[in-house]
């Protein structure tokens, strides 16, 4: 599956109250696998038209609808461009510097960048409206977004590195997302070996 979540502005994620858990595993010089899930409240899914682009089967997605949630489980292997590209419709209004990237650095080293800092800058409208902020915080209570990068060895990361040194991850909840600007999470940037 294309890592569409990586190219969605934070304001969109918040407005849909998307919960996500995603792992990008680097398999080679230009091959990666993305696995995980995204889910949103069923009411929000239906209000958005129940669009199947939320979970395209051709990109490795399996959509499950319940009375309360729309959930997309995904598992897709492809080139770096295939994994990190977003659908053309989602790309049109998105500044290039807000897209995630996977870059081969030579040898067996790869850099994975998820520009979260820039995404949070787009939330100004929500933060400037106390009623909207309170509503979004209430809707997101208990939800989280986890991103993980996996390889043979993590060299460095702005995220948390696992004890075995093979994974770097970052988890965001409502308190993290709406922390004061000077305390917010910056870009999730990782260099690893595959």
Query: Any idea which residue has 């609808």 for tokens?
Result: 65
Cα 16 off chain centre by? 14
Q: In whole angstroms, give the CA distance from residue 56 to residue 58.
A: 5
Question: The tokens of 163 are what?
Answer: 């004890």
Per-residue pLDDT tens listing for the chain (194 residues): 444 444 444 444 555 567 889 999 999 999 999 999 989 888 888 887 877 778 888 888 999 999 999 999 999 999 999 888 744 444 445 455 557 899 999 999 999 999 887 665 555 556 677 776 677 667 667 778 899 999 999 999 999 999 999 999 999 887 777 777 777 788 999 999 99
Q: In whole angstroms, give the CA distance from residue 102 to residue 160.
A: 19
User: Tens digits of per-residue pLDDT, 134-152?
Assistant: 776 676 677 788 999 999 9
User: Tens digits of per-residue pLDDT, 97-145?
Assistant: 557 899 999 999 999 999 887 665 555 556 677 776 677 667 667 778 8
Q: In whole angstroms, give the CA distance from residue 104 to residue 4.
A: 21
Neighbouring residues of 66: CB distance < 8 A, sequence distance ≥ 6: 42
Q: What is the pTM of this model?
A: 0.80
């Amino acid at each position: 599956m294309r890592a569409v979540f990586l190219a969605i502005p934070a304001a969109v994620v918040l407005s849909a109250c998307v919960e996500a858990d995603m792992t990008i595993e680097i398999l080679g010089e230009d091959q990666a696998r993305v696995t995980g899930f995204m889910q949103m409240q069923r009411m929000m899914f239906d209000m958005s038209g129940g669009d199947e682009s939320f979970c395209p089967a051709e990109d490795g997605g399996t959509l499950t609808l319940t009375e309360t949630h729309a959930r997309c489980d995904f598992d897709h292997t492809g080139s770096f461009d295939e994994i990190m590209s977003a659908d053309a419709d989602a790309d049109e209004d998105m500044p290039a510097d807000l897209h995630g990237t996977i870059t081969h650095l030579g040898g067996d080293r790869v850099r994975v960048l998820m520009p979260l800092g820039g995404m949070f800058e787009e939330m100004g409208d929500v933060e400037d409206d106390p009623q909207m902020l309170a509503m979004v915080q209430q809707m997101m209570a208990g939800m989280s977004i986890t991103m993980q990068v996996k390889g043979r060895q993590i060299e460095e990361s702005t995220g948390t590195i696992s004890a075995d040194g093979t994974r770097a991850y970052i988890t965001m909840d409502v308190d993290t997302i709406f922390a004061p600007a000077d305390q917010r999470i910056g870009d999730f940037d990782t260099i690893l070996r595959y």
